[in-house]
Amino acid sequence: MSGNLYSWIEKSVNQDQEHIKLFYKDSTNCIALISSPVHNVFNVEFITNDENQQTRKIIEEVKKEINFYLINKKEKYPWNYAKYHCVSTSNLYSPIHWHFYPTINDRAMTFYNILKLYKLDTTRIRLVRHGNAEIPILETFRNNRGRFEAYQSLQAPKKFSNAKQIAVFSPYRNTLSLFLGLWDVKDYVDNKNFTKSLHSIIDVNSFPKKWHSFVCWYNLEHNPILDELSERLVIDWGKSTLSWVQAKDKLVVEIKGKNSLGDFSSFDQVILTFRELKMLINNPDSNTTWINTLSSVNGIYLIKDTLTGRLYVGSAYGAKGIFGRWQSYANSGHGGNKELQGMDYNLFEFSILEILPATTSADEVILRENRWKRKLGTKETGLNLN
């Protein structure tokens, strides 16, 4: 695949060394890995076993983009340019997102290195990345801590092995995971010794009925020693996200400032709870990339009532674009919309349907807003009155 002095070949990539991961649109699955060049040759590893037509099409798009940035642009140092592209505006707007990951070594910031700063024994800790199959992990952690703790206490036999503590994470973006907290493992109850009260926990929390016959109970006690890092520390779990209990150290990608949502990633990945929206609006110094990006565009947004699933389509134009319009929702809950008044704003979820240049006229924005209302049927079955 040559085009200048550099080329690439399909070959496995060592993720302990610096590399770039490619993702397609808002998918959490990595499509490809790229290594730094050795003798002007990049290794590229495609991470998919799916051979359907859509996947093949995506792979072809990814190959074209790799060729463009690493070969066809004929940069003197294409790896340095690729790392720059990872933080560029063009990467933000592209359907293919590039993310750079540095080398893991003894001096790198890893999760185990942080645990050692708190005098914790890493040999006794298991890392646990809960999935969202049975419950929405992060939402439940924030809004229903009792159900969350019941969920993680009910696990398959020996799932946490002989761990004395578990460090718990939720899915975040792509293969990244958000730290929630540390729990001490106090005791273990086998399924055959379940009491009526333990069985009732399954029913009260609407967990799957089949759990009655095989899950065990881990008596877990929250340990507050790492609470200052809760919902702030982000690790890269790696491509084996199905392996959700591990003892392997992880690279720390980010420690967000207090009350920070982290850096803005892409418009198609924006899904904010009402709590997150208020945090964004009320803490501008910790969320500058979000504020600058959302202020720079007009657009069509979506509000979902997560209790009923009903939708509201709105538009943003004028001063401060989408950010300016969303400020009014953070301040009042309803943003001046009669349809939303009196509802539980804490159940609202905000996302973006379409972005438009800040120069787009109000008439054009409203025209597109009405088109989305028709597409989603929000006048007939949703929350839009007109």
Q: What is the pLDDT of residue 241?
A: 65
Q: Please tell me whether residues 205 and 292 are part of one structural domain.
A: no
> The whole model's pTM is what?
0.57
**What residues in the chain have per-residue pLDDT under 70?**
1-4, 28, 49-50, 89, 104-108, 241
In a domain, 386, yes or no: no
Q: Please tell me whether residues 217 and 347 are part of one structural domain.
A: no
Report the alpha-carbon angle 82-85-88, nearest 5.
Answer: 170
Q: What is the pLDDT of residue 1?
A: 46
Q: At a CB cut-off of 8 Å and minimum separation 6, what does 83 contact? A: 20, 100
In a domain, 128, yes or no: yes
- Indicate the residue among 224, 255, 286 that finishes a domain: 255
Tokens of 383: 């929350």
Q: Please tell me whether residues 45 and 129 are part of one structural domain.
A: no
Q: Please tell me whether residues 241 and 287 are part of one structural domain.
A: no
In a domain, 323, yes or no: yes
The structural domain count of the chain equals: 3
Distance, CA of 365 to CA of 317 (rounded, Å): 7
Q: Please tell me whether residues 173 and 40 are part of one structural domain.
A: no
In a domain, 194, yes or no: yes
CB contact at 8 A, 167 and 111: yes
Q: Please tell me whether residues 353 and 320 are part of one structural domain.
A: yes
Q: What is the pLDDT of residue 75?
A: 87
Q: Please tell me whether residues 97 and 123 are part of one structural domain.
A: no
Q: Please tell me whether residues 272 and 236 are part of one structural domain.
A: no
- Indicate the residue among 203, 234, 255 that finishes a domain: 255
Q: Please tell me whether residues 119 and 236 are part of one structural domain.
A: yes
Q: What is the pLDDT of residue 3?
A: 46
Q: Please tell me whether residues 370 and 340 are part of one structural domain.
A: yes
Q: What is the pLDDT of residue 158?
A: 84
Q: Please tell me whether residues 292 and 165 are part of one structural domain.
A: no
- Indicate the residue among 59, 74, 101 that finishes a domain: 101
Where in the sequence is the domain holding 126, given as residue range(s)?
111-255
In a domain, 2, yes or no: no
Task: Compute CA distances 245 → 14, 110, 233, whole Å.
Answer: 21, 17, 18
